[in-house]
């Protein structure tokens, strides 16, 4: 009988060239585990909730690290640590929304080793799923959280389709607000996908949280110059200041036309299976000033269309308050 005090047996690969990693990802496909910082990985493996045949460690691939200029903005390697993002002068000057979001992830120790790619592609945090129960997301035929007695305080109020788990990534909301582009590579070549389309809900794919297919690796994220130096607001509400995932968060990017709001992106985390863009709020905010009166008017519609579960109705006023605070900032 296998001991649960040690890691399960598997092959470990530590390539130093991206082509080698892509070939390994292609060889093992769904049976391979792509390793970034490892903060989400080891719990899955120690609990025997996932059973990969091979682990492909990306940390030795220099091409996947670093923050560099691109043709239209900046490009961040997927293996760049959250600490590097928080400390980068260009990001703090032009895209502070991302560094603010990264600074709320877990704890300083985790941010030191946790990577941008790992934070973006981490799996759902629902405790029923993490315990290894045969729920919809695990390939079963029920959702234990979406029941009259289900423990669903942290689950979604938008976009449920069988599964009600929320997106756990703090940086994902900032990427959607900044209209980032995800660079995905495989042995077949490179493809790009918008951040908004990169994250998928259970109505699209019940066992995945991103559009990554077996054999593909997220290699970089590109942020366009469109939002460089604009007005940003990020806030995350959690039970504790460190480690906890968002109950509700908001990432906002706004371009100002004089004293009024022009284009804007309002994106909430912790309320849906994917980063939840508030298009109706964006439309209502256009032409408004950053004032208490405007904030109250726009915030009142923030939670329109929500369908709370039995234990998470509190997320509705929380969303409204976050929109209000962003409009007053």
pLDDT for position 39:
84
The structural domains of the chain, with segments of one domain joined by +, span: 11-60, 62-121+165-328
What's the CATH fold of domain 62-121+165-328?
3.30.465
Task: Supply angle C-alpha 221, 179, 251, rounded to 5.
Answer: 100
pTM, 2 dp: 0.96
pLDDT digits (tens), the chain, 329 positions: 455 566 778 999 999 999 999 999 999 999 999 999 988 888 788 777 788 999 999 999 999 999 999 999 999 999 999 999 999 999 999 999 999 999 999 999 999 999 999 999 999 999 999 988 999 999 999 999 999 999 999 999 999 999 999 999 999 999 999 999 999 999 999 999 999 999 999 999 999 999 999 999 999 999 999 999 999 999 999 999 888 999 999 999 999 999 999 999 999 999 999 999 999 999 999 999 999 999 999 999 999 999 999 999 999 999 999 999 999 97
pLDDT for position 44:
83
For residue 214, what are its two tokens? 């077996």
Matching fold, domains 11-60 and 62-121+165-328: no
DSSP helix/strand/coil, 182: strand
For residue 201, what are its two tokens? 């809900």
CB count within 10 Å of CB 65 equals 18
Helices (H), the chain: 18-28, 41-46, 82-87, 89-94, 96-102, 108-113, 116-121, 127-130, 170-177, 195-198, 279-285, 292-299, 315-328
Q: With contact defined as beta carbons under 8 Å apart, do 298 and 199 qualify?
A: no
What's the DSSP call for residue 191? E
Smallest CA-to-CA distance from 150 within 14, 266, 308, 329 is with: 308
pLDDT for position 43:
78
What's the CATH fold of domain 11-60?
3.30.43
Residues in the chain: 329
The pairing of beta strand 32-35 with beta strand 54-57: parallel
pLDDT for position 243:
81
């Amino acid at each position: 009988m296998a001991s649960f005090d040690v890691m399960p047996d598997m092959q470990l690969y530590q390539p130093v060239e991206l082509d080698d990693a892509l070939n390994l990802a292609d060889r093992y496909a769904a049976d391979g585990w792509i390793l970034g910082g490892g903060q989400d990985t080891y719990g899955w493996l120690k609990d025997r909730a996932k059973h990969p045949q091979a682990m492909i460690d990306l940390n030795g691939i220099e091409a996947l690290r670093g923050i560099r200029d691109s043709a239209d903005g900046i490009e961040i390697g997927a293996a760049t640590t959250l600490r590097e993002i928080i400390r980068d002068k260009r990001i703090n000057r032009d895209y502070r929304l991302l560094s603010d979001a990264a600074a709320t992830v877990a704890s300083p120790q985790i941010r030191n080793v946790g990577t941008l790619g790992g934070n973006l592609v981490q799996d759902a945090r629902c405790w029923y799923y993490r315990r290894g129960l045969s729920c919809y997301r695990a390939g079963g035929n029920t959702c234990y959280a979406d029941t009259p007695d289900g423990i669903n305080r942290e689950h979604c109020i938008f976009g449920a389709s069988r599964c009600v788990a929320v997106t756990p990534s703090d940086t994902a909301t900032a990427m959607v607000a900044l209209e980032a582009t995800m660079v995905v590579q495989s042995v077949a070549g490179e493809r790009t996908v918008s951040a908004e389309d990169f994250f998928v809900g259970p109505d699209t794919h019940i066992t995945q949280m991103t559009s990554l297919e077996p054999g593909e690796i997220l290699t970089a994220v590109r942020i366009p110059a469109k939002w460089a130096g604009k007005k940003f607001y990020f806030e995350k509400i959690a039970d504790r200041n460190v480690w906890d995932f968002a109950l509700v968060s908001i990432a906002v990017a706004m371009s100002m036309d004089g004293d009024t709001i022009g284009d804007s992106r309002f994106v909430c985390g912790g309320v849906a299976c994917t980063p939840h863009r508030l298009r109706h709020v964006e439309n209502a905010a256009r032409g408004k000033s950053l004032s208490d009166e405007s904030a109250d008017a726009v915030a009142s519609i923030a939670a329109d269309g929500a369908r709370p579960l039995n234990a998470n109705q509190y997320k509705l006023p929380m969303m409204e308050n976050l929109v209000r605070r962003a409009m007053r900032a």
